[in-house]
Homo-oligomer: A and B are copies of this chain.
């Protein structure tokens, strides 16, 4: 960075051989986070969801601008928001290069700029039949937290705190994305739920996919909470497939890259789970296990879940 905040614009040095990745996301209170969300969680999440978009391209995040609209000047709110945002920024070495604070109903817009070597950014449109579908981490923790909050479910407090942590303070998969860019044909981050986001890859690549639902990585906390809240296996699966707010990566890996990827993946990164494969045709089909009858689901979001011959 040549010049940070304090002039009409920031100045960044363009680098030969590097491409720039640019993304923007707005969080609005009551829509993107529950209204009782702490300022620390809001500060974290506003940055994390944008970092996650950079991760989904395999990029290295570099700089961000912050547009903050606040109903009133509340020093302690601002301090908690800011401390949390800057803690996450330091963790990924990203710098705030521009800001605008205005008065109005609470909303936060972050624009993030990252970099990737020319031609290395992973888009959505290169999945081909036979490729294998992976996800990082676990699915549905944030959705389970939201479900329990909205239904006032009686869950063990420690479990609830950890699930709420997944909802409020997601971990952007930056390091995972930068490794995956060497192997993946297509990649996306899971913000709207696996079925919707994998659906974007399928549409962009003009392919279909089959998932093995027993392979979907569910955390022990998610399973325990489901059991304590008396949630059916179908409902649990629905949360994992369509709940959103996971901020895990869904990556499509060509067969030839499976070995190299496995060798390259260090245990320090979030676990990578094989969940299915890319097929010809279109849309997403679910199988409980290899050879079991499949279920076709709408990839625009979860709309139904019933057995159907395929």
A-side residues, CB < 8 A to B, are: 2-3, 6-29, 31-32, 53-54, 56-57, 59, 63, 65-67, 69, 97-100, 102-105, 107, 109, 111-116, 118, 121, 123-125, 187-189, 204
Q: Are B11 and A14 in contact (CB under 8 A)?
A: no
Contacts A14-B14, A18-B14, A123-B3 given: A9-B23 contact, CB under 8 Å?
Answer: yes
Q: Are A56 and B12 in contact (CB under 8 A)?
A: no
Chain A at the B interface: SS class:
strand
A161 to chain B, nearest CB (A): 28
Q: Are A22 and B104 in contact (CB under 8 A)?
A: no
A109 to chain B, nearest CB (A): 4
Could you say how many copies of this chain the assembly holds? 2
Question: CA of A29 to CA of B10 in the docked complex: distance in angstroms?
Answer: 26
A-B pairs, 4 with minimum CB distance: A14-B14, A8-B56, A111-B111, A24-B65
Contacts A28-B104, A99-B24, A105-B105 given: A8-B57 contact, CB under 8 Å?
Answer: yes
Residue among A20, A29, A125 having the largest count of chain B Cβ atoms under 10 Å:
A20
Contacts A31-B102, A31-B104, A103-B28 given: A7-B124 contact, CB under 8 Å?
Answer: yes
Question: CA of A15 to CA of B116 in the docked complex: distance in angstroms?
Answer: 14
Q: In the complex, which residue of chain B has the Cβ closest to the Cβ of A97?
A: B22
User: Which residue of B23, B31, B65 is within 8 Å of A103 (Cβ)?
Assistant: B31
A116 to chain B, nearest CB (A): 8
User: Which residue of B20, B111, B118 is within 8 Å of A20 (Cβ)?
Assistant: B20
Q: Which residues of B contact A22 (CB under 8 A)?
A: 9-10, 12, 63, 65, 97-98, 113
